[in-house]
Amino acid sequence: MVRREDILSMEFLKKTEFTGCDSGMRYRLEKTVEADETKLKCTVWPEPFNFFKTPDTDKTAALFDFSEDGVVDAVAWMNDRLFEDKDRWEQAWRCWDTYKMV
C-alpha cells in the first residue's frame, strides 16, 4: 500500500518528478501543465522496467490538482489501482524475460 508519507513534499514535486514502487506496481508523480492549469500527473505501470523503458501501452495515468489534496487523491488512486489490478502487479516479474540487452 502506498502511503502519503512515501511521497516527498510539494516543494520537491515543484522541481522534479518522484518515482516509487509497491507490490509490483511502479509509479511516477510529476508536475504538468494542461490547458494553462498546473496539474499533478500520476502514472502507474508494472515492474520491472523504469518509466522510459516501459511502453506507453503498459502505463495508466490520471491527473489531479497540484496541491496537497491532489497528492492525497493520487495516493488513493494508486491504491485503487494496486487493489483492482492485483493480478497484473503479481505477474509483473514475468516481464524480465522480455528484456533485451542493447
pTM for this prediction: 0.90
pLDDT at 67: 97
- Radius of gyration of the CA atoms of the chain, in A: 14
Q: Three cell numbers at 65?
A: 490538482
The beta strands (E) that lie in 1-102 are given as: 18-22, 25-34, 37-46, 60-65
pLDDT at 98: 61
Distance CA 66, CA 12 (A): 12
Q: What is the pLDDT of residues 54-83, one digit of tens each?
A: 999 999 999 999 999 999 999 999 999 999
Mean pLDDT confidence for 35-39: 95
Binned at pLDDT 50, 70 and 90, residue 95 comes out as: low
